[in-house]
Structure formats: C-alpha cells, structure tokens
Amino acid sequence: LAMWAAEKMGKNHEEAKTYAMQMIMLDLERDRRKDVLGRVSEDFESMGLSVPHTEIRATMNILADEARRQLMS
C-alpha cells in the first residue's frame, strides 16, 4: 500500500522506500489497518490529492489478499 501511495504522491524511488519503512513501523506500533489508512489519507491530503477512503481501503484489501497468496505459494 505504501508504494502505491508513494507513487500517487509522486515520490521518487528512495522517497518511496523511506515512506514504506515508515508505514511498516507504524504497522508494528499500533492497530495497523486503521492507522495506516489514516496516515495514507492524511499524507494524500497534505499533498493536495483527493483519494477517497474507499479507494485506499479497497487497495489495502487487494494488496493484503495478494500478499497472503504469495505467502501461501
């Protein structure tokens, strides 16, 4: 999700990796889905991007399903 969000925010590769690591740390610290959704939403808003929570949540679900499939194979 972080890489998807970073791409939408126009971050370069290194910035995207840093952003992804920040999301991982946030994920480890708290209730992950709620906090990551909120953080990504706030980051989009701070950059003037209008991305609905429904799109962020749907992307989170798709990527979580994909990650589970990869882990199971």
**Token pair belonging to 42:** 């706030």
**5-12: average pLDDT:** 94
For 11-63, how does the pLDDT look when each residue is reduced to its tens digit (9 = 90+)?
A: 999 999 998 888 877 766 655 556 788 889 999 999 999 999 999 999 988 98
The kind and range of the H/E element at 49 are none
pTM over 0.75, yes/no? no
Q: How many residues does the chain have?
A: 73
The pLDDT value recorded for residue 39 is 87
